[in-house]
């Protein structure tokens, strides 16, 4: 096993990028208290410079069955039900975009209870994935469902080889007590341990959130990416143990950094579908080149209409490249067993 921190510390610039030094130095935050890409000095966001350096200096990650790279498939479950007016609005929006399948889907049923459809789609490509559920109480911001009502759904997800993880609420990223309470709540409903985490709205504070997650007993996190930009936030396209610059010590948790969420392309970057697909292929090809892990986020309400087609195209593209298409839990377990 090679010591990646020691290798990186020999190159000050890369070490600063890896350890997210700029996020300690600047007080710039967006209205959701997130460090925005616009405040970053990293203008090579789509190049995993730190991972490249590690590979060039002897880092040799491996994957099951000699596959050359992995894709971590994830879904944040922000909502389950839609009101009649919202359903109509979604249906019309799909119709205006020219998606007849999206239009009829929304008219026919509650569009967000689509877990079976998501899993069946993934199974066609030999894939499994992670579903991150919220455990909010009535009255909390963005409370949209009672997770206690979902016991059969959660159990089916796990029975089909997928993962149930925690989607922390708006304030969980800075509140260790809340984080632990929600983890226990979800564990009680599921009847087993929860090891994976992503915070709602990708709210995250370097390095505190990592410390809280470690203390709460999580194995890994996948929040670390930008909502407003696709790419590699700290130059890494591999899972890594974060380094806390305040304590001067690594944090014993695995970060599986987020590469992109599909809604970033149209919602934030305002790029058209063909450009989004070109960029997706570029990111996947880059991760394959460095034998890394590409983490993608499709909310359950994104596996519908044109975004569902985009998702299937991605699964197909990655399956043809013989990627390991799997959940965060599988990747974290493998990474820890191998001691990378």
Contacts to Zn ion by CB under 5 A: 76, 78, 200
Cβ 152 to Zn ion shortest distance, Å: 22
Cβ 167 to Zn ion shortest distance, Å: 6
Cβ 277 to Zn ion shortest distance, Å: 24
Closer CB to Zn ion, residue 16 or residue 78? 78
Q: Is 131 within 8 Å of 162 (Cβ atoms)?
A: yes
Cβ 210 to Zn ion shortest distance, Å: 19
Return the half-sphere exposure (C-beta side, CA atoms, 13 A cut-off) of residue 78. Answer: 13
Q: What is the rounded distance in angstroms from the CA atom of residue 70 to the CA atom of residue 73? A: 9
Q: Which helix (H) or strand (E) holds 221?
A: strand 220-221
Structure tokens of 243?
A: 């380094």
Closer CB to Zn ion, residue 202 or residue 251? 202
Closer CB to Zn ion, residue 50 or residue 72? 72
Closer CB to Zn ion, residue 11 or residue 175? 175
Which residue has its beta carbon closest to Zn ion? 200
Closer CB to Zn ion, residue 146 or residue 281? 146
Q: Which residue has the tokens 């309470």?
A: 181
Q: Which residue has the tokens 């969420």?
A: 261
Q: Is 237 within 8 Å of 293 (Cβ atoms)?
A: yes
Cβ 54 to Zn ion shortest distance, Å: 31
Cβ 237 to Zn ion shortest distance, Å: 23
Q: Is 131 within 8 Å of 115 (Cβ atoms)?
A: yes
Q: Is 203 within 8 Å of 32 (Cβ atoms)?
A: yes
Strands 243-244 and 249-250: antiparallel
Cβ 56 to Zn ion shortest distance, Å: 36
Paired with 296 in beta bridges are 73, 260
CA 216 distance to own-chain centroid: 19
Closer CB to Zn ion, residue 76 or residue 178? 76
Closer CB to Zn ion, residue 171 or residue 244? 171
Residue 280 to residues 46, 52, 164, 276, 295: CA-CA distances in angstroms? 10, 19, 26, 6, 11
């Amino acid at each position: 096993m090679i010591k990646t921190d020691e290798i990186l510390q020999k190159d000050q610039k890369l070490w600063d990028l890896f350890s997210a030094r700029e996020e300690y130095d600047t007080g710039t935050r967006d209205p959701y208290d997130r460090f925005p890409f616009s405040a970053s000095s990293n203008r090579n966001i789509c190049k995993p410079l730190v991972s490249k350096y590690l590979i060039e200096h002897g880092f040799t990650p491996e994957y099951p069955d000699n596959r050359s790279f992995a894709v971590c498939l994830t879904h944040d479950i922000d909502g389950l039900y839609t009101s009649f007016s919202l359903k109509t609005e979604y249906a019309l929006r799909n119709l205006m975009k020219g998606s007849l399948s999206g239009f009829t889907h929304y008219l026919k049923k509650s569009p967000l209870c689509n877990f079976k459809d998501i899993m069946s789609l993934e199974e066609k490509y030999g894939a499994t994935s992670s579903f991150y559920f919220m455990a909010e109480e009535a009255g909390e911001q963005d409370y949209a469902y009672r997770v206690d009502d979902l016991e059969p759904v959660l159990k089916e997800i796990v029975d089909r080889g997928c993962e149930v993880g925690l989607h922390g609420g708006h304030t969980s990223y800075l509140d260790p007590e809340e984080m632990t309470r929600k983890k226990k709540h979800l564990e009680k409903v599921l009847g087993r341990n929860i090891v994976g985490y992503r915070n709602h709205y990708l709210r995250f504070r370097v390095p505190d959130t990592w410390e809280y997650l470690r203390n709460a007993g999580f194995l890994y996190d996948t929040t670390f990416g930008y909502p407003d930009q696709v790419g590699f936030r700290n130059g890494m396209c591999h899972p890594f143990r974060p380094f806390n610059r305040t304590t001067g010590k690594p944090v014993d948790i695995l970060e599986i950094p987020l590469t992109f969420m599909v809604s970033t392309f149209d919602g934030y970057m305002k790029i058209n579908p063909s450009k989004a697909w070109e960029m997706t292929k570029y990111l996947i090809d880059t991760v394959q080149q460095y034998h890394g892990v590409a983490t993608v986020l499709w909310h359950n309400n994104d596996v519908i209409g044109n975004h569902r087609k985009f998702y299937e195209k991605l699964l197909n593209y990655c399956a043809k490249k013989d990627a390991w298409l799997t959940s965060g839990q599988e990747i974290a377990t493998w990474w820890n067993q191998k001691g990378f």
